């Protein structure tokens, strides 16, 4: 069973499963980049200062907004410090953080926490972490890693609605207005390297599509475009490709289409417009 963690899931798990396990702390130190999202949320909910581990090691703490600059909670001595990351898989990230902080030789108490952990109790018993919100298992994907997930090479990703906006209906004229859209579509997500990009755009627009992708430095192993004379609609086209190729997860812009693809193929599909995972096996 494929698991999908959204930013909303993280927020919920921090409030209800992590914060009750965190004692009083005067500062949140986040491990970049993904841990910054978790760290900011804890900082906001506890009303305490925040910084990254790089800033902390250089003696800097992020200046709060104007209304907090004279508040007691933002001007206090540091005795207990929360060090946080979004997840702990191998433990390498936490090990690196502990080594960096130990070299500072500060007389403070560190609490090491993550929102999600693989084999969580084992990591607790080994002293890798002091607290976690939820134990997780593979296969799993995080919404906040759409751009740099280590398994992106195994993903199939839609273009319109994900990397850029969908073409406005009034511009979808299969003529000059559509060409203008292809050339000037506004960038949304920019993943580092995707295994397969797939689109219902007609094959005749490959040159314009590749030019736009290259201009935005979006790397991919394969670009699959439609020969619309062979397919009744985008659902059948995308489902056929997904069924007959080794992609592990399909990221589709439309949840309506995502549900239909999952029904036809029985492999996991994420619909980004409503941020739903469809994973009903055939």
Within the chain, all domains assigned CATH 3.40.50.1000 are found at: 152-278
Cis omega (within 30 of 0) on the bond before 37? no
Q: 196-253, pLDDT tens digit by residue?
A: 999 999 999 999 999 999 999 999 999 999 999 999 999 999 999 999 998 889 999 9
- The SS3 call for residue 40 is helix
**152-278 to CATH, choices 1.20.58.2240, 3.40.50.2300, 3.50.50.60, 3.40.50.1000:** 3.40.50.1000
Q: 91-101, pLDDT tens digit by residue?
A: 999 999 999 99
Within the chain, all domains assigned CATH 3.40.50.2020 are found at: 3-141
Mean pLDDT per block of 10 residues along the chain (282 residues) reads: 89 98 96 95 94 90 54 67 95 95 93 96 95 90 83 91 96 95 96 94 97 96 96 96 93 97 96 93 56
Give the C-alpha separation, 159 to 247, whole Å.
16
Task: Name the pairing type of β-strands 269-271 and 249-252.
Answer: parallel
Whole-number pLDDT of residue 73: 52
Backbone angles phi, psi at 150, to 5 degrees: -65, -15
Whole-number pLDDT of residue 69: 46
Q: Residue 51, Cβ neighbours under 10 Å: how many?
A: 22
For the domain 3-141, what is the CATH code?
3.40.50.2020
- The tokens of 263 are what? 């029904």
CB 160 within 8 A of CB 202: no
């Amino acid at each position: 069973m494929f698991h999908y963690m959204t930013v909303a899931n993280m927020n919920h798990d921090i409030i209800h499963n992590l914060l009750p396990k965190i004692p009083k702390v005067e500062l949140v130190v986040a491990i970049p980049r993904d841990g910054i999202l978790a760290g900011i949320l804890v900082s906001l909910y506890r009303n305490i200062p925040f910084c990254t581990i790089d800033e902390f090691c250089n003696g800097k703490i992020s200046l709060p907004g104007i209304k907090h600059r004279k508040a007691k909670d933002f001007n206090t001595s540091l005795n207990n410090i929360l060090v946080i990351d979004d997840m702990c898989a191998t433990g390498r990230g936490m090990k690196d953080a502990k080594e960096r902080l130990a070299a500072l030789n500060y007389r403070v108490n560190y609490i090491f926490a993550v929102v999600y952990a693989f084999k969580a109790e084992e990591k607790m018993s080994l002293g890798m972490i002091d607290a976690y919100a939820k134990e997780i298992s593979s296969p799993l994907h995080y919404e906040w890693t759409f751009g740099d997930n280590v398994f992106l090479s195994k993903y199939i990703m839609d273009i319109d609605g994900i990397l850029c906006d969908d073409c406005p209906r009034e511009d979808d004229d299969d003529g000059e207005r559509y060409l203008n859209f292809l050339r000037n579509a506004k960038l949304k997500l920019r993943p580092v390297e995707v295994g397969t990009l797939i689109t219902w755009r007609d094959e005749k627009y490959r040159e314009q599509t590749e030019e736009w992708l290259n201009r935005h430095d979006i790397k991919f192993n394969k670009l699959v475009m439609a020969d619309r004379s062979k397919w009744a609609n985008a659902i059948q086209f995308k489902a056929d490709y997904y069924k007959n190729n080794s992609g592990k997860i399909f990221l589709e812009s439309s949840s309506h289409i995502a549900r239909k693809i999952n029904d036809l193929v029985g492999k996991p599909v994420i619909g980004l417009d409503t941020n739903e995972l469809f994973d009903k096996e055939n």
